[in-house]
Chain A
Amino acid sequence: MKRYSFSSIFTEAFKDNLGWEKAWTKREPKKEYQIIIVGGGGHGLATAYYLAKNYNITDIAVIEKGWIGGGNTGRNTTIIRSNYLQESSIGIYEKSRFLYETLSQDLNYNIMFSPRGVLMLCQTEHELRAMKRTSHANRINGVDTKMVTPAEVKEIVPIININGPRFPVLGALWQPRGGTARHDAVAWGYARKCSDYGIDIIEQCEVIGVKKKRDKIVGVETTKGNIKAKKVCFVAAGHSSLLADLAGFRLPIESVALQALVSEPIKPMIDCVVMANTVHGYLSQSDKGELVIGGGADGYNNYSQRGSFLHIEETVRALVETFPVISRLRQLRQWGGIVDMTGDRSPIISKTPVDGLYINCGWGTGGFKAIPGSGWATAEMIYNERPGKLASPFSIERFSEGRLIDESAAAAVAH
């Protein structure tokens, strides 16, 4: 792989930029691999990357139904934060945020990580109390967050309306090390580095069956033929239930559409991420100048990748009240992704009833921020054949054992 550097840009500039090679090689499947990762989104690619980087395993195939980064990795609002309430969530999300800090250097790919700060508004007395509790939990676990006053909120975000009238801003939880990154670049950067390690990235290849021999996995059946493997890991977000169905078990997951939108591009007006849980909306500004806006998920299961208009209206209405200055902006694009929701709004990183089959799913509405940490923990689990410290609280068994990791209040907006 040709390294991206100042000198490579400089020399390519004199060669009409014709010397760049493809970021990753598109491959056809071999007969057999040591490990197959089903799902070529951020989490799947990160899992393959950390298997290669931390454990020197490169006999891996990453199988993707569509194209790399075409699912939820390319459909989110790119927010990175780790201000969760429960210890186990803080562990994995903070690991992830920490890995994001040096990810551009690790991958030799500019993922444009921008720790611009994440502000979570408190607009009711109850929310203020809950956020104070979260900030204490964060401090105990070494996550750098603090509560700020309404005056400080106004200083951080001058365009905000803190006086209400319906929902005045009473304070906020401020995580200065949170921020955003370029979502596609995260997928592309991981894919490029995986390809460089010799991992096969196979696009346009759908898994249509699971091959088992006495409750042990021996391979998968795909639209490009049968592929044998010793270990398989499903990392398919909203479509995890369908894969589990092929393997003969059911998951505690329901899939819904979550949508986001961007406004037309405008000059810089907001230099951090603002989340307003009570009124259901969050906002940041991309480097292109578009306001990136997200809101609530649909109230019923669907795989439409579109979402209902009702929620767009709700989200925009809430944000116009909080930021009156955006009221005349036009919407440029809107899209939806299928998110996999668990009952406690925490992910599943676990072994399954099938021997040799692992699963990473249930990230729901907040998977992007967790990509590096999730890949790290899943790779550790696949290599050791049991979950490590980061992943073990997130096993499927936590539901039957009553060890739920309740994070429904930590979502950007309650879904």
Chain B
Amino acid sequence: MLNLFCPTCQRDCDETELSCGGQAHLIRRDHASSDKDFYEYLYERKNDKGIIFERWKHVYGCGKWFHTARCTITNQVFGSYSAKEVQPPKSILAIIRRSRVEFKGWVK
């Protein structure tokens, strides 16, 4: 079972307490955006095989959102960070680089 750290509750929680919100750091579009931008925001996903950054919600806990970095092949988790971040913090990227030398960094 996937076990993730909730930065709000400051504790680990099981997959059963959580709900996945998909790809993190999407640029939110509004009604004034172009059709193409809005399509990208609504549907297009990176769907990477390897390291991904995603949003999770602690639904059966504090009810707050947070971010995690995870590998989609091995399900190795590299850590959680605040939902307020607009891109992965340097500390998380450093943790990933330590175990994955081939990691090229976060791409929008």
Partner-B contacts on A (CB < 8 A): 239, 241-242, 250-255, 299-304, 308-310, 343, 399-400
Contacts and interface: CB of A to CB of B under 8 A. Distances in A.
Contact of B2 (A239, A241, A255, A300): A300
Contact of A239 (B35, B46, B49): B49
Given A251-B47, A309-B1, A300 B54 contact: yes
Contacts of B54: 300-301
A304 B47 CA distance: 13
B39 interface: yes
Given A250-B45, A255-B47, A299-B20, A308 B35 contact: no
8 contacts: A241-B47, A252-B45, A299-B20, A300-B54, A303-B72, A310-B1, A400-B36, A400-B39
B32 interface: no
Contacts of A250: 40, 44-47
B74 interface: yes
A352 to B, nearest CB: 13
B44 A299 contact: no
Contacts of A255: 47, 49, 72
A251 B36 CA distance: 13
Category for how many chain B residues contact A:
20 to 34
Nearest to A244: B47
B96 to A, nearest CB: 17
A304 B75 CA distance: 7
Given A242-B49, A299-B19, A304-B74, A251 B44 contact: yes
Nearest to A397: B39
The 7 closest A-B pairs by CB, nearest first: A252-B43, A241-B47, A300-B20, A250-B44, A400-B39, A302-B72, A303-B49
B2 A308 contact: yes
Interface string B41-57: 01111111100101000
Contacts of A299: 15, 19-20
B72 A301 contact: yes
B74 to A, nearest CB: 7
A241 B45 contact: yes
A245 to B, nearest CB: 8
Between A253, A254, A300, A304, the greatest number of chain B beta carbons within 10 A of the residue's beta carbon is seen for: A300
Contacts of A241: 45-48
Contacts of A343: 42-43
A409 B19 CA distance: 20
A407 B23 CA distance: 23
Nearest to B1: A310
A242 B74 CA distance: 17
B21 to A, nearest CB: 9
Contact of A310 (B16, B40, B72, B74): B16
Contacts of B40: 250
Interface in B1-51: 1-2, 15-16, 19-20, 22, 35-36, 39-40, 42-49
Contacts of A308: 1-2, 15
B73 interface: yes
Contacts of A239: 49
Contacts of B47: 241-242, 250-251, 253-255, 301
B75 to A, nearest CB: 6
Contacts of B36: 400
Contacts of A254: 22, 45, 47
Given A250-B46, A299-B19, 18 more contacts: A239-B49, A241-B46, A241-B48, A251-B45, A254-B22, A254-B47, A255-B47, A255-B49, A299-B20, A301-B20, A301-B72, A302-B73, A303-B73, A304-B75, A308-B2, A310-B16, A343-B42, A400-B43
A301 B44 contact: no
A310 B14 CA distance: 10
A310 B45 CA distance: 26
Contacts of B15: 299, 308, 310
A242 B72 CA distance: 13
A299 B19 CA distance: 7
B59 to A, nearest CB: 11
Contacts of A399: 39, 42-43
Contacts of A253: 45, 47
Contacts of B73: 302-304
A122 B5 CA distance: 38
Nearest to B74: A304
Nearest to A338: B49
Interface in B51-108: 52, 54, 72-75
